[in-house]
Amino acid sequence: MSTAPTLDEVKQELSNLASAVAAPTIFMKEVVRLLHTRMSKYNWIGFYMIEQQPSGEPILVLGPFQGAMTPHTRIPLHQGICGAAASTGKTVVVDDVSQDARYLACSVETKSEIVVPIFARGKVVGELDIDSHFAAAFKTEDRELVEFCAHLVGRYLDAPSA
Ligand code: SME
């Protein structure tokens, strides 16, 4: 059995990826694939990116993801844990989703969740959402890892060619 990678190893793989891929969408697909492969408690991983609706209202739209299909492909900014992270620009960690009234269910197996906003050109442009089948799965080091991923994506989107 192979040993679990250290978070530094995963961060190094992510940094290598960021310099190897040709477009932000490809990078995002690779990030979800890598986290899903490497992090055994990360059971659903997906990006939501902010788009403007014809009404002018912003909405979170599901982007690259790994895991079961979710019913929540479009989430208004005033709904869900996803909406809370996007509208406040702050990471949200929920140790027990059954105790959080904001939670929009994606799978009955989900016990805990982390959502990290992605900033580009000084504003929130999307977020990285991860669900776990384990309660309180997202510790300080997981938060650091997911924030690192969100930062890399934001930096990629900030690049002049993005
Ligand atoms: N649980 C999220 C919705 C997205 S699904 O988890 C994929 C929320 O409460 O916003």
Give the integer Cα–Cα distance in Å for 48 and 53: 15
Tens-digit pLDDT string for the chain (162 aa) = 456 788 899 999 999 988 888 889 999 999 999 999 999 999 999 999 999 999 999 999 999 999 999 999 999 999 999 999 999 999 999 999 999 999 999 899 999 999 999 999 999 999 999 999 999 999 999 999 999 999 999 999 998 765
CB 112 within 8 A of CB 99: no
pTM beyond cutoff 0.85: yes
CA dihedral over 109, 48, 87, 11, signed as positive or negative: positive
Give 104 Cα–ligand 1 centroid separation in angstroms.
Answer: 5
Give the integer Cα–Cα distance in Å for 100 and 92: 11
Give 4 Cα–ligand 1 centroid separation in angstroms.
Answer: 27
Q: Answer yes or no: is the C-beta of 72 below 6 A from any ligand 1 atom.
A: yes
Give the integer Cα–Cα distance in Å for 102 and 95: 13
Q: Answer yes or no: is the C-beta of 86 below 6 A from any ligand 1 atom.
A: no
Report which protein residue has its CA nearest ligand 1's atom 1. Answer: 104
